[in-house]
Structure 1
Amino acid sequence: MDKSSVDKGRVFRELHEAPGAFVIPNPWDIGTAKLLTSFGFKALATTSAGFAFSRGLPDGGVGFEAMIHHCREIAGATELPVSADLEKGKGDSAESASETIFAADAAGLAGCSIEDHTGDPANPIYGFSHAVERVAAAAEAAHALKHDFVFTARAENFLWGRPDLDDTIKRLQAFEKAGADVLYAPGLTDIESVRTVCSAVSKPVNVLAMPGFTVAELADAGASRISLGSKLTTFCFGMLQNAAHEILEEGKFNFARAAMPFPKLQTLFATGK
């Protein structure tokens, strides 16, 4: 089959329909996208925080057009389906949510997520009705595309100082009725909360990986997809911090023993795979 003819959106949807849960890692540039592809993952997702940090910016500090350009680069760097973390999207209105979907599709993405986080620290979560209107508009746009596109709706309460599980479930249930394909409440920290969320909806649920979770436990709790968010990015920044400490405080270079071999990276990137 001509790989250019593959409906990556359909491939991505089928991953959610398969038994168990799959892990979707989050590269933050072309190199990490190619590297993660080479390891055998089945799909990739962008990370808004990871990309922002790589640009020396805080999470939320990248403009929409720059983010879409980044997504286009990631989608073009791999044969895998790529979903994008597009934060709140192009703007605050329901119409802007639709425009976000069309921009994501034009960038070659197989899916994307839109949050109910406003970007305003003083008022971080959209009101319930407006949040649902935005999801409904995005879902309508996604379903109007000529090929499959997996739209994820995110309820951000737990990331912004509102650990209200009842309200989070109410939002996810409303997002499901509004047409979202996948539901996501990042920031859940215990398996029972994950189980409660998954049992409250019928659409696939994405869960953010947390220390202490296992793939088997999350799958048993009902998760279909497990994303890593910015964790790979912050892990690499942590390793850089450790290396700097070793150099400056101990005068040693033992960190290099854990480095990926130069020839392996050279070969990977030389082949373009």
Structure 2
Amino acid sequence: MDTLERDSGLPAHQVSKAEAFRALHTGRGFVLPNAWDAGSARILEQVGFPAIATTSAGIAWSLGVPDGGRVDRDTMLEHIGRIVRAVDVPVTADLEAGYGDTPEEVARTVALAVELGAVGGNLEDARAGGLYGIGEAVDRVAAARAAAPAGAFVLNARTDTYFGGVSGDPFDATVERATRYVEAGADCVFVPGVVEEDTIRRLVAAIPAPLNVVAGLASTVDATTLMSLGARRVSLGGSLARAALGLLERAGRELLDTGTLGFLDGAIGYADLQRRFGG
């Protein structure tokens, strides 16, 4: 039993996954796809991704409701648990803003995610009324850090400064929040909404932790380019779920309008899926 396994109290396989996931952040960059159910997670694992994230948006849409806090914590964690159990690669969980008004509730959410086997998680600094005050947001990050075994959970602090809520150029506010979050225990900083290549380079240089940016949300810049700018972690948010639902809608329209089956071109065969899913 190594020191981390002993100190964390977690099973060896979970510690090993956490260490593997953490190591990805020290390389030249990696793409982190977001799954919304066990099946999508299995497919992404089979494609060859070394780790998978969940997407709160994709999970919400799979339940027929909009993203943004409409899914309660227990339901979200239930779906996260299914994804974790479906794959052998590390899974990091989209925990939105922590599902609670207080730092103590945030800590409880993170602890529950760790119990499910997640080896990382996102924590947002925004709520329905806008950004949390920086002091309150820092307290929430610190509580999340305290709830997760040291070294066995990659805490990704998300700041929504580029989605509004700050006056003027959001760059300085982003760097200030990111620095405070890292000091409070965040391992990585997630800045969605930033699209300018030069700004991404400046954020990489100014933030004292690996930078996570999202591809396919507010920008069409590809993942390879984002990593060349210095981003260590490129996630997709709900983009893969949107693509899948878009294909479903197009298939439905074709079937309703013409009755043809062109949408089946490129579809995975029934027997193949049965084999892949162990049927």
After TM superposition, the score normalised by the length of structure 1 is: 0.90
Counterpart for residue 6 of structure 2? none
Task: Say whether 1:47 aligns with 2:58.
Answer: no
Task: Say whether 1:77 aligns with 2:81.
Answer: no
What does the per-residue CA deviation read over 1:72-123, in whole Å, with 9 as the maximum and x for residues that have no partner? 11111111000000101130212222222211111110111111111x2xx1
Letter in 1 for 2:115: A
Letter in 2 for 1:101: V
Task: Say whether 1:181 aligns with 2:187.
Answer: yes
| 1: CA distance, partners of 2:273 / 2:208 | 42
* Gap change, CA 1:253 and 1:5, over 3 Å in 2: closer
Task: Say whether 1:205 aligns with 2:214.
Answer: no
Counterpart for residue 166 of structure 1? 172
Query: More deviation in 251-260 or 176-185?
Result: 251-260
Task: Say whether 1:152 aligns with 2:156.
Answer: yes
Query: More deviation in 62-71 or 91-100?
Result: 91-100
Letter in 2 for 1:156: D
Would you say the 8 A contact 1:21–1:215 is kept in 2? Answer: no
Query: More deviation in 208-217 or 29-38?
Result: 208-217
Structure 1, unpaired ranges of 5+: none
Counterpart for residue 115 of structure 2? 106
SS of 2:265's partner is helix
Structure 2, unpaired ranges of 5+: 1-10
Query: Could you tell me how far 1:258 is from its partner in structure 2?
Result: 2.7
Letter in 2 for 1:158: Y
Query: Could you tell me how far 1:156 is from its partner in structure 2?
Result: 1.4
SS of 1:174's partner is helix
What does the per-residue CA deviation read over 1:154-206, in whole Å, with 9 as the maximum and x for residues that have no partner? 00133456572322222111111211001001111222222121111121111
After TM superposition, the score normalised by the length of structure 2 is: 0.88
Seq. identity, %: 38
* Gap change, CA 1:248 and 1:26, over 3 Å in 2: same
Counterpart for residue 124 of structure 2? 115
| Structure 1 residue ranges (4+ consecutive) displaced by more than 3 angstroms after TM superposition | 2-6, 159-163
Counterpart for residue 226 of structure 1? 234
Q: CA RMSD in A?
A: 1.9
Query: Could you tell me how far 1:250 is from its partner in structure 2?
Result: 3.6
Letter in 1 for 2:89: L
SS of 1:193's partner is helix
Letter in 2 for 1:72: G
Counterpart for residue 129 of structure 1? 135
SS of 1:10's partner is helix
SS of 2:180's partner is helix
SS of 1:226's partner is strand
Query: More deviation in 158-167 or 183-192?
Result: 158-167
Query: Could you tell me how far 1:252 is from its partner in structure 2?
Result: 2.5
Would you say the 8 A contact 1:135–1:175 is kept in 2? Answer: yes
Would you say the 8 A contact 1:21–1:219 is kept in 2? Answer: yes
Counterpart for residue 39 of structure 2? 31
What does the per-residue CA deviation read over 1:38-58, in whole Å, with 9 as the maximum and x for residues that have no partner? 111000000000000000011
Would you say the 8 A contact 2:93–2:122 is kept in 1? Answer: yes
Query: Could you tell me how far 1:4 is from its partner in structure 2?
Result: 3.5
| 2: CA distance, partners of 1:87 / 1:236 | 22
Number of positions where the alignment pairs a residue of Structure 1 with one of Structure 2: 264
What does the per-residue CA deviation read over 1:235-255, in whole Å, with 9 as the maximum and x for residues that have no partner? 011111212222233442211
Aligned partner of 1:139 among 138, 142, 145: 145
Would you say the 8 A contact 1:113–1:153 is kept in 2? Answer: yes
Task: Say whether 1:97 aligns with 2:97.
Answer: no
| 1: CA distance, partners of 2:70 / 2:163 | 17
* Gap change, CA 1:166 and 1:105, over 3 Å in 2: same
Letter in 2 for 1:165: F
Query: Could you tell me how far 1:141 is from its partner in structure 2?
Result: 2.5
